[in-house]
Structure 1
Amino acid sequence: MPVHFWTLTDVATRTWLDEFSFILAGADDEAASVEKYTLRGGLSEGVDVVEVNNGRLSISIVPTRGMGLWRGTCDGLELGWKSPVSFPVNPAFVNALDRGQIGWLAGFNELLCRCGLDANGPPGDGANLHGRIANIPAHRVEVSVDTEGPGTIAVTGLVDETMMFGPCLRLKSTVSTTLGSNSLTIIDEVTNLSAKPADLELLYHTQFGPPFLEEGARVELPASTVVPRDSRAAEGIDRWPVFGATEVGYAEQVYYTDLAVDVAGQTVVLLRNAAGDKGVSLQYRKQDLPCFALWKNTQAEADGYVTGLEPATNFPNLKAYERTQGRVVTLPPGGARTMTLVLAVHSSLAAVAQVQSQVTQLLGGKPPVVKNAPQPGWSPAGERQEQNSARAEI
């Protein structure tokens, strides 16, 4: 049988495999594998990890943390970043209400984590920083391996963000890759399990540090508009796409953007190092994820030298504000929304240049409109900026 299936976890049937391993060979006899293990000790006690290796790219999926991606490698390049949080943290040890509802940060160290599902953004409106989904374990995890054709390894997890008298949302996430590929694909389906309409906010917090992030590194976006989130971001608007060296005490800067698409509705974003011979890209359909935020946090490496590429259904503002702007998705009873995200690694000048050319083509020769101050309709700081300007004119 060319397709093999295994159930690693299923709470409903009391299925749980302590360990699992399957090894297969690629077209060039490069070893490929999928392995499941459980971390022991410290704050990582009981955290399940499913490690997929396609012979070129490896990725560590963490079902215990909402099907997030911990870290990876491709062509010898490390994917992820060095967080002050060294290892995956069991959600049982994360108090989301800590330090003024920013306790989410006590478990923040992934290459990719989801923010949502009911809400994301800063704490407020009854929600903690970036919501709950990253700290909810999957209750069902499956692995499939298709040994025909290019050979595909896929890991699927079900994560329920549900409560009595509250949101009832289910995330079905499938992370897949083909043998010898430089990319992985995430297909997420969020379903409203309730008999009532439900809100959806989902942001993919995708982080990178060295070797992609360094002094002189750049983000290449097909942006038609770039807006600083607040006055702090406005301070660096002249160099918004360029990254500096590590800086002790650096305060984060966030930029909101509107991205161009191709005829199929796809867009692509690229982070490349200074030399342009190492890069990572995200490709997705803008209709599914219409908002994109760039997070710059080039503080000392010990404190987290990192940038975030963040496609989302909304900008990470307070949910009440996003609702006024029409950016909170409403799922009807039983309704669902599907998002597909492709993460690719580019390890040569030619490979990086090819993606950069795609970005240039999407721009169509038009430079982005770059605002030097927060704007109304984009962030609460933009509303305050407009109000202050109006007062000054009186």
Structure 2
Amino acid sequence: MKTLHKLTLLSPDSTEGLKKIDLKQGDWSVKSYTLRGGLQEGVDVVEINNGRLSFAVLPTRGMGIWKGECGDVSLGWNSPVKTPVHPSFINYQDRGGIGWLKGFNEWIVRCGLNNMGAPGTDRDGTALTLHGKIANIPAHSVSLEISDEAIILRGEIDETMMLGPALRLNTEIRTEPGSGKLTISDTVTNIGAAPAEHELLYHINYGESLLEKGSKALAPFKHVAPRDLRAAEGIDSFNVYEDPETGYAEQVYFYQLVEKSGSGGTMVMLKNASGDRASVLRYSLSDFPCFTLWKNTAGKADGYVTGLEPGTNYPNCRPVEREQGRLLSLAGGESRRTALSIEVLESKEAVEDAENEINRLQEQVEGKVHRQPLALFSGN
């Protein structure tokens, strides 16, 4: 492997912010810049183009990925929030603890690290806000490594406070020249001395072009159950999508997925109606044992979107997940590493191959679709 570039874009002792670069070689390019004006003022962006797949990472917003594209496949969605919002404009407590939504427009956004899921109150009276804080914490360290084999962007983010949790995220976002795939490898470390609870979910969001009437979300499952009575209304077509519908209220489904024997690996796919374009997630159930499907096929102007969401647990309020024994705890100094790959498929043959792979996994188990919420999943 020949290293072409190894750069520090942002260091903890920087006084000038993210280093501005514009690198090109062959078919690939990487550039960085800072957005100006309105709520996006001061948001740093690193754009990576491997010659086939391009995507924009936001170090200012927890190293989330704003948007991307691969050929004619658009990666992301048309949120009512039109530009990345600087964390300084986010009030977590807004509108009963759902202020996180005022910055929600990314293709890939992390939820966590200490808590994620629905807002509410913890057993000690702590107010828990929607999906936690990590998506609105700027990275304090960002570096770039480019070789003839890969483009790798790394970042470090701390979610810490006095008399509270002290968690650190080290992320590595990797793609290979000419590939339709990227891999996110995250390590979460408790940098404090006392044990700390830990939750992590990836909200991976798609609108048009993959999302349309007749699109399907496919996954090998042991169980699927609606989160609540609203989701139960759509259980007969829980993985099939319709056209945008003004006034549509979200429907959420909780899955237990099937893993490949001996590997722990599983996969989820969103394919378009014609079956010639798709996005596939691959990961280990030891990393993310819970999967959530979020359907929000509202009017286009209101956010026509679906979310594929691997997680350490389900996105219920933290007391529910603690009661069900799904909350993780990291001892002082302990780390937990996870990996997730996302690949775009651009032909009917590739989509059919992936669907056949899912079907082979499903053959191991007779999947059960529950018509009503299960207390095991949603605490209802």
Instruction: Tell me the TM-score normalised to structure 1 length.
Output: 0.93
1:80 aligns with 2:81: no
Partner deviation per Cα, 1:147-188 (whole Å, 9 max, x = no partner): 2xxx20010000100000001000001101000001000000
SS at match of 1:337: strand
Question: Percent identity, aligned pairs only?
Answer: 49
Partner deviation per Cα, 1:308-363 (whole Å, 9 max, x = no partner): 00000000001011001111101111001111000100111011111111111111
| Aligned-partner residue type, residue 177 of structure 2 | L
Contact 1:18–1:38 under 8 Å retained in 2: no
Contact 1:196–1:332 under 8 Å retained in 2: yes
Q: CA deviation at 1:212?
A: 0.7
1:248 aligns with 2:249: no
State the distance in 2 between where 1:334 and 1:111 align: 31
| Aligned-partner residue type, residue 129 of structure 2 | N
Partner of 1:327: 326
Contact 1:7–1:15 under 8 Å retained in 2: no
Contact 2:3–2:145 under 8 Å retained in 1: no
Q: In angstroms, what is the RMSD of aligned CA positions?
A: 1.1
SS at match of 1:242: coil
The answer for unaligned runs of 5 or more in structure 1 is 26-30, 382-394
Question: Which structure 2 residues correspond to residues 157-196 of structure 1 after superposition, within 5 A?
Answer: 157-196=155-194
Partner of 1:292: 291
State the distance in 2 between where 1:349 and 1:61 align: 29
Q: CA deviation at 1:242?
A: 0.5
State the distance in 1 between where 2:111 and 2:16 align: 28
Question: Which structure 2 residues correspond to residues 40-59 of structure 1 after superposition, within 5 A?
Answer: 40-59=36-55
Please identify, of 187-196 and 357-366, the stretch whose mean Cα deviation from structure 2 is larger.
357-366
State the distance in 1 between where 2:57 and 2:105 align: 13
Q: CA deviation at 1:127?
A: 1.2
State the distance in 2 between where 1:17 and 1:274 align: 41
Contact 2:220–2:267 under 8 Å retained in 1: yes
Partner of 2:278: 279
Partner of 2:119: 123
Question: CA 1:58–1:232 in 2, change beyond 3 Å: closer, same or farther?
Answer: same
Partner of 1:28: none
Question: Which structure 2 residues correspond to residues 225-374 of structure 1 after superposition, within 5 A?
Answer: 225-262=223-260, 263-364=262-363, 366-374=365-373
Question: Which structure 2 residues correspond to residues 10-29 of structure 1 after superposition, within 5 A?
Answer: 10-14=11-15, 16-25=17-26
| Aligned-partner residue type, residue 4 of structure 1 | H
Partner deviation per Cα, 1:104-146 (whole Å, 9 max, x = no partner): 0000000010000000011112211000000000000000001
SS at match of 1:212: coil
The answer for unaligned runs of 5 or more in structure 2 is 122-126
State the distance in 1 between where 2:205 and 2:70 align: 15
| Aligned-partner residue type, residue 196 of structure 2 | A
Contact 2:62–2:139 under 8 Å retained in 1: yes
Instruction: Tell me the TM-score normalised to structure 2 length.
Output: 0.96
SS at match of 1:233: helix
Partner of 2:124: none
